[in-house]
Every structure is written in structure tokens, then in C-alpha cells.
A = this chain, B = another copy of it.
Amino acid sequence: MIFIGERINTGFKDIKAAVANKDADVLKSWAVKQTKAGATYLDVNLGAVSNKPEDLCWMIEQVQAASDLPISIDTNKPSMLKEAVPLCKKPPLINSTTAVDEKMEDMFPIVAEAGASIIGLVMDEEGSPKSADKRVENAGKLLAKAMEFGINPEQLFLDPIVMPLKYMQEQAQEILAAANQFKLFSDPPPHIVCGLSNISNGTTQKKLINRTFAVMLVANGLDAVICDVTDEDLVDALLTAELVMNKQIYADSYIEAFRS
């Protein structure tokens, strides 16, 4: 499982304040905490707090000073990426593009040049799809266009777009069905990722709903997740789901081994 630590995001108050005050310690502390928890990438999101590339670059530099993990650069602005990507010590994951031609044509050359990876949201000009079929159609567009730019399937992380269970309950099954199709696109297949916390928006049982849906997605091919990697119950559930899918060999100490 590829764990993308979601926490260094100005959507969280402490990160927003830290960026405003250039308080590096807050970012470093979350970088260390998520690294210790088992993250594979650390997502860095400047959000709407600033539109200056140097603020995003400052965030990335603080994170890289505290952790050796590669960065997931959470912006869809080419102007930001042109500054941020060259700073990355390891090939980053770019978060994200949509299946809109113009957007892909902006983003994919940056990915190809840097040997980076990219998250492809299966939305198009019409917005977020409601059906599994439309998700699969947009995923196909993403994969085909990526390959035109010399990007391998393994560099593409398809995101079926998770919708809140509370408000769009019928969507969960469409998402599961879409993920199940994504893994048939190529061999090796593209990665399948999601922004997990959307599923539990507005609910009273956020962590339970997050981990239950995540486990179901693993049964349908999910191999990467943007999530709270410090949620041990979630991580344990995902490690166990990967055992069930025979992606990791069972050992009595499988959880301790991950933590150490």
C-alpha cells in the first residue's frame, strides 16, 4: 500500500498558521510524525492561502529538511509546479490533473520531464461523473493521453473520485465498480488511489467509515491512499486487506514489521 500522508495541508488550522508565520517546526513535526507512521509520500498543499510559488517551495523545503520521503505536490497549477518540481530531491507525485485535454496537455509534459508520477482525477469538462462507466471512460482518456507523453501506467495514479456517503450514498458502489475496472486497463496496471476522507464527510463515524470503505476499495484494486497515516486502525485495516489480496506474505508480526 502506498500511503500518502495528507496532513501538511493549509486546510488544517495549524498548518495554515505555520505557513502564515513561516513557522517551520510545525511542518517538520508533521513530516516526522507521518514518516514514522509509515507514509510513502508526504502531501504538501498550500491551498488558497497564497498563490505565490515561493510559499509552496518553502513548505517543500521544510518537509524535505525533516524527512527523506518523496513529496506529493498538491497543486494543479503548472506555474506552481515549474518552481516546485525542480526542488524535489526525489521524483514527486503531482496531485493532480483531470481528464480535460487542456489540463492534461499542461500537466503531462511536466510529469514526463521530471520522471514524476501524477494523480489523474476521472473528471472532465462536465465535472465529477456519477456512474462507474463515465469514471472508466475518463480513466481511459487519462491513461491514453499519459502514454502519448511517454508516461508509463505505473506513473499514473487513477482517482475514481470519492463522494460523501451521507449525501450521495449510491455513489460508493459506482466508485468500487470503477476501481475494479481500472486495474484491467494495462499490465502492469496504473495505480489506483483515492482521497479517502471524503467518504465520511458530515458523518458521526468518520474513522469507521473511512477504514471500511478503504478495505472495500482494496478488494477492488486500490493500492494507494491519501489519508491520515497516523490513524493506526486505518493503517492496520489496510495492511490486513493487502494480506487478504495476497499482496504481502502473511507473517504473525505483519503489523509490527510495518511499524518498525
Instruction: Give the segment of A15-23, A55-63, A185-193, A208-216 that binds chain B.
Output: A208-216
Number of copies: 2
Tally of contact residues, A, Cβ under 8 A: 33
Contacts of A165 in B (CB 8 A): 243-244, 250
Instruction: Give the segment of A127-135, A145-153, A166-174 that binds chain B.
Output: A166-174
A246 and B170 within 8 A (CB): yes
Contacts of A169 in B (CB 8 A): 243, 246, 249-250
A240 and B209 within 8 A (CB): yes
A244 and B219 within 8 A (CB): no
Task: Decide yes or no: A216 and B213 within 8 Å by CB, A173-B245, A205-B240, A240-B205 being known contacts.
Answer: no
Bound complex: CA A26 to CA B212 (Å) = 34
Q: Is A255 an interface residue (CB 8 A)?
A: yes
Q: Which of A241, A244, A246 has the most CB of B within 10 A?
A: A244
List residues of A whose CB falls within 8 A of some B CB: 165-166, 169-170, 172-173, 176, 203-205, 208-209, 212-213, 215-216, 218-220, 236-237, 240-241, 243-246, 249-250, 252-255
